[in-house]
Chain A
């Protein structure tokens, strides 16, 4: 059994700040983390491996410093880590990203063995696109299972898998054949605390580093900025509303007065809200 988990190192979005004057991102001091959604994918992979045996390979594409996230994944218990890093990948959109990752997974398959399952998180917290998983599935012709909340059954010998996936208004139970690509839904499990042995192993383990050439990427023109159909034309802060917010005065005033003002401002601006509320109150 071989499972590949694709992860991404992202800036901790809770700590990103925008410069108030220049509207540029202040990246200094923002720590990098494993995309939180990917941890659900990693944990599910580790659980499956623990149950049926085999190996978990974590794969990421990113700058050299993304090695930190791979080591972290090893410390959680992954068996092997591969870092796809090359300046040719810089500026990749989702289509170019899936081209590089799909080819790297092919190389992983040749180097070790083909995976029965490729896992990803449902999306990243920086790009928020949810497109990379489906893109990899399509390129590698894997059966696609997105927003999976539970693996209901898994039969490696028969090559079958049944999952529950989040759908609009309910849960869809799907059965399909291996190999598959699964994007894991949040809260589907909880990442384990790695063992001390895993932590020690992670510190010493070798992270496999592949350039585009090492990974046998066939066409560099399909990678990075050049291989990306989409371009970012501008980045901007949204303009403030033309009409300034009505400010409720606060200086030297009691909380009750302020509350009364807020309520009055709501009812004056939207009389319909007051009548709706009063009607509802009368209904009781």
Chain B
């Protein structure tokens, strides 16, 4: 990905270059997903990537592989079985005591060794703190292209990976290709892709690889892991109902209206990037490309204009309701229900309407019961 965003260019130049691969790169075949396995379980983003990888291999007519690393053979075999059930045809397994906890150095070596031996054409990783730490090192070691935080992956007519992601601070989308380098690498943020269905009993092929490293070779040591106590962090990403506010709320006091509606609906609240920058919400409550990606059943956006950076974080919602005073706000391009109104006025009335509906039922329920 161009770190310096390049303005839209007329067709021509490098973008129009033929992607006929040099002979030695044609040997690269297959789609790999790095399986993030920590603290006894697979990160959901890795399974989501297996689902996405399946679509790519069906087009490419190649195998889908997961790459699993860790210290316990038993645990990893269980995880490998899970990968098969989520769509992997092959699992590459690296078991070594030095891989007990994630560290950049041994994981980078294990991954680059595997790539150099088996030559996959595509390598996908979750855009987590772990995946991003690893992806940058692996891509630099292999001297290949890496596209961060992609929101859409496709294969073009020349077997090339078309990786789409927001650009210009999330105001437009761009599609990026890796020319004349393999593997083509991309990261995808959690919850951007849908979780594939599990196919119980589905089997695959296991390939084990040794890692020639001893603990003394590795400079960085993990002293401790302190699990988060604040479980709210996970709740926003997985909530069924999310209410969020944007700059249209005009003040931090008005943002309380968002919290109140979320509370009545038993959901979580969040906000757009400018709110996080202004300090109205913590970074953990930011929804969008650089914050949390959500896939709730219901998403209510109050006073949010809906820039692409926000859109990609909420597009997985089943139902999007937008409240905004500007009829031309981009959020109305992807909302299912829209109302051109001042959220500051509407939110309290809407909160009251929901509260009454729910408490009315509560009363009538009581009547029936008695």
Give the interface of A toward B (CB within 8 A). Answer: 8, 11, 13-14, 16-18, 20, 23-25, 36, 62, 90-95, 97-98, 123-135, 137-139, 143-147, 162, 164-177, 186-187, 225, 228-238, 240-241, 243, 245-248, 250, 255-256, 258-263, 265-266, 269-270, 272-273, 276-278, 280-282, 284
- A126-B5, A231-B176, A278-B361 known; A269+B219 contact, CB < 8 A: no
Query: Would you call B29 an interface residue if the criterion is a C-beta within 8 Å of the partner chain's C-beta atoms?
Result: no
Q: How far is the CA of A240 from the CA of B335 in the complex (A)?
A: 9
Q: Which of B313-370 contact A (CB under 8 A)?
A: 318-319, 321-323, 328, 332-341, 345-346, 349-350, 352-354, 357-359, 361-362, 365
Collect the chain A residues with CB atoms within 8 Å of residue B135's CB.
131, 134
Chain B interface residue count, CB cutoff 8 Å, equals 111
Flag if B133 contacts A134 (CB, 8 Å).
yes
Please, could you name 8 A-B residue pairs with CB atoms under 8 Å apart, sorted by A?
A8-B3, A93-B145, A94-B146, A129-B146, A175-B221, A245-B334, A255-B346, A276-B240
Q: Closest A-chain residue to B2, C-beta based?
A: A93
Partner of A168, one of B104, B129, B323, B332: B129
Interchain CB contact under 8 A, B220 and A174: yes
B86 to chain A, nearest CB (A): 19
Q: Chain A residues with Cβ under 8 A from B8's Cβ?
A: 24, 234-235
CB < 8 Å: which of A23, A90, A174, A262 contacts B172?
A: A23
CB of B353 within 8 A of CB of A256, answer yes
Contacts of B14 in A (CB 8 A): 225, 231
Tell whether B148 is near chain A: CB-to-CB under 8 Å.
Answer: yes
A259: chain B residues at CB < 8 Å are 346, 349-350, 352-353
Q: Report which of B9, B340, B350 forms a contact with A247, defined as CB distance below 8 A.
A: B340
A18 contact set on B, CB distance < 8 A: 168, 171-172
Question: In the assembled complex, which residues on chain B have CB atoms less than 8 Å from the CB atom of A11?
Answer: 169
Indicate if the CB atoms of A246 and B337 lie closer than 8 Å: yes
How many angstroms between the C-alpha atoms of A134 and B131 in the bound complex?
Answer: 12
CB-based contact A130/B220 at 8 Å: no
* Chain A: minimal CB distance from B26 (Å): 17
Known A-B contacts A25-B7, A91-B2, A256-B353; the reply to A232 vs B136 at CB < 8 A is no
Q: Would A234 and B174 be within 8 Å (CB), given that A135-B139, A263-B357 are in contact? A: yes
A86 to B15, CA, bound (A): 22
With A16-B168, A177-B219, A230-B176 known, 4 other A-B pairs at CB within 8 A are A94-B3, A132-B136, A171-B226, A246-B338
With A173-B226, A232-B175: A262-B149 Cβ-Cβ less than 8 Å: no
Nearest CB in chain A: distance from B15 CB, A: 5
Q: How far apart are the CA atoms of A166 and B226 in the complex, in Å?
A: 10
Task: Give the Cβ gap from B289 to chain A, nearest Cβ, in Å.
Answer: 7
> Is the C-beta of B259 less than 8 angstroms from some C-beta in chain A?
no
List A contacts of B23 (CB < 8 A).
Answer: none
Q: Are A172 and B338 in contact (CB under 8 A)?
A: no
B173 touches A95 (CB 8 A): no
Contact A245 B221, beta carbon cutoff 8 Å: no
Tell me the nearest residue of chain A to B338, going by C-beta: A245
- How distant is B111 from chain A, measured CB to nearest CB, in Å? 12
Residues of the B chain whose Cβ atoms lie less than 8 Å from the Cβ of A8: 3
Chain B residues with Cβ under 8 A from A174's Cβ? Answer: 103, 220-223
Q: Does B251 contact A (CB under 8 A)?
A: no
User: Closest A-chain residue to B347, C-beta based?
Assistant: A259
CB neighbours (8 Å) of A243 from chain B are 336
Identify which of B102, B171, B334 contacts A240 (C-beta below 8 A).
Answer: B334
Whether the pair A280, B220 counts as a contact (CB closer than 8 A) is no
- How many angstroms from the CA of A130 to the CA of B225 in the assembled complex? 23
B298 interface residue per 8 A CB criterion: yes
Judge whether B204 is part of the interface by a CB distance below 8 angstroms: no
Contact B144 A229 (CB under 8 A): yes
Instruction: Indicate if the CB atoms of A166 and B171 lie closer than 8 Å.
Output: no
Chain B: CB-nearest residue to A124: B3
Min C-beta distance of B71 to chain A, whole Å: 16
Is residue B217 contacting chain A, with contact meaning CB distance below 8 A? no
